[in-house]
Amino acid sequence: MILSHAGPSTTDTPTATLEVSRAADFRVAMRELAAGVTIITAGREHGRRGLTATAVCSVSADPPTLLVCINRSAEGHAAITESGSFCVNVIAVEHQRLAERFAGRDGARGAERFDHGEWRALATGAPVLADAIAAFDCQLVQAIEAGTHTVFIGAVTATTVSPQRAALLYRAGSFAAAG
Ligand SMILES: Cc1cc2nc3c(=O)[nH]c(=O)nc-3n(C[C@H](O)[C@H](O)[C@H](O)COP(=O)(O)O)c2cc1C
């Protein structure tokens, strides 16, 4: 059984140790949350940047709005801020290598990551994966700082859908198929 640290700090437990432990507990628990895998992109041509992300959530259908949570250290973070737009590409099982690439696992960085896959643009100019299961092209409307990450809220300006394939999921450090 894994214990959590929900209570207040005690005098015999140094605060720093407790906070590190809370972060570790949080990561261990979050690993159990199965999530659909996306590649979030921004920028144009040599300025294109992208990262693999699961922290994506619908906010509202009217108007169509979603949010993504991006680490401030990620290459894509500045590209989103500077371009004022981003695209959420929902990917399929056959895109696992691409997911690994955009998570930095094959060493490719910057616009080089887009050498694999077929990339287009819709309304905002952010890169859209041509064979994504779905894509949400978004205009950035709000950015909220939260810990190490920024919550970017996007107004969806265009979508693509091509759902007849198994989606790529991520749970407990492993990729899996859904559907
Ligand atoms: C399955 C998976 C999900 C991820 N989800 C997120 C996420 O939601 N937000 C985020 O900022 N990074 C996420 N990452 C980490 C980034 O993909 C990784 O740090 C990436 O290399 C971005 O940094 P870079 O572009 O500077 O290399 C995830 C990685 C993986 C493998």
Outline where DSSP puts E strands in 27-126: 35-36, 38-42, 49-53, 56-61, 64-71, 85-90, 119-121
Residue 97 is part of a domain; what is its CATH number?
A: 2.30.110.10
5 pLDDT band, cuts 50/70/90, is very low
Task: For residue 118, tell me if it sits in a domain.
Answer: yes
In the chain, the percentage of residues whose pLDDT exceeds 70 is 89
6: in domain: no
Q: Is the pLDDT of residue 8 over 50?
A: no
Structural domain for 73, as ranges: 34-171
CB 152 near ligand 1, within 6 Å: no
Residue 92 lies in a domain: yes
Ligand 1 center to residue 156 CA distance, Å? Answer: 22
pTM, two decimal places? 0.91
Q: State the total domains in the chain.
A: 1
Q: Say if residue 66's pLDDT is above 60.
A: yes
Q: Residues 143, 78: contact at Cβ < 8 Å?
A: no
User: Whose C-alpha lies nearest to ligand 1, atom 10?
Assistant: 70
pLDDT tens readout for residues 131-143: 999 999 999 999 9
Across the chain, mean pLDDT equals: 92
Please indicate whether residue 137, judged by its CB atom, sits closer than 6 Å to ligand 1.
no
